Amino acid sequence: MNEGPVILFDGVCNLCNGSVQYVIRHDKAAIFRFASLQSDSGQQLLQQYQLPQSDFASFVLIENGKAHTRSAAALKVARKLSGAVKLLYGFIIVPAFIRDWFYNFISGNRYKWFGKRDSCMIPTPELKNRFIN
């Protein structure tokens, strides 16, 4: 599981699944791999990096042996994507407690605003190699 950056996401969250689809479309070099927080691989990585295994409210980026969570993870991913979204990385200068307040507000309302699936996303055959499990 050490073949480049891995994004861990809430597999039943519609917002999170939409975010993964966005990353896939804008990750022209296909550097990111993915796992749902609920999957065996996701749980193993959470344990390995000493992160909570039952709190699915955080977006996690594992890169270069470090785990980044919440807004820091999202901004670090945005920086590596194509298009104007990479400009969002400029918000990294905002103190984490402020960025994470906004992140936590959206995360806390994501099911209400965007809905929830009954099960985790199943990648298409073309994308299966980008998902670890």
| CA 127 centroid distance within chain | 16
Range of the domain at 15: 6-130
Condensed to tens digits (0 to 9), the pLDDT of residues 75-110 reads: 999 999 999 999 999 999 999 999 999 999 999 999
* Residue 118 within a domain: yes
pLDDT for the residue numbered 122: 73
The pLDDT tens digits of the residues spanning 10-61 come to 988 999 999 999 999 999 999 999 999 999 999 999 999 999 888 788 889 9
The 10 Å CB-count burial string (b at 16+, else e) for 78-97 is bebbeeeeeeebeeeeeeee
- Whether 35 maps to a domain, the answer reads yes
Count of domains forming the chain:
1
Which is nearest to 131 in space by CA: 64, 33, 59? 33
Instruction: Report yes or no on 52 lying in a domain.
Output: yes
User: Under DSSP, is residue 119 helix (H, G, I), strand (E, B) or coil?
Assistant: coil
Is residue 63's pLDDT more than 50? Answer: yes
- Residue 100 φ/ψ, nearest 5 degrees: -70, -25
Tokens of 56: 């699915």
Q: What is the pLDDT of residue 121?
A: 67
Q: Which of 38, 99, 41, 108 is nearest to 68 (CA)?
A: 99
Name the amino acid, one letter, at 38: Q
Q: Is residue 1 part of a domain?
A: no
Question: What confidence score (pLDDT) does residue 68 get?
Answer: 96
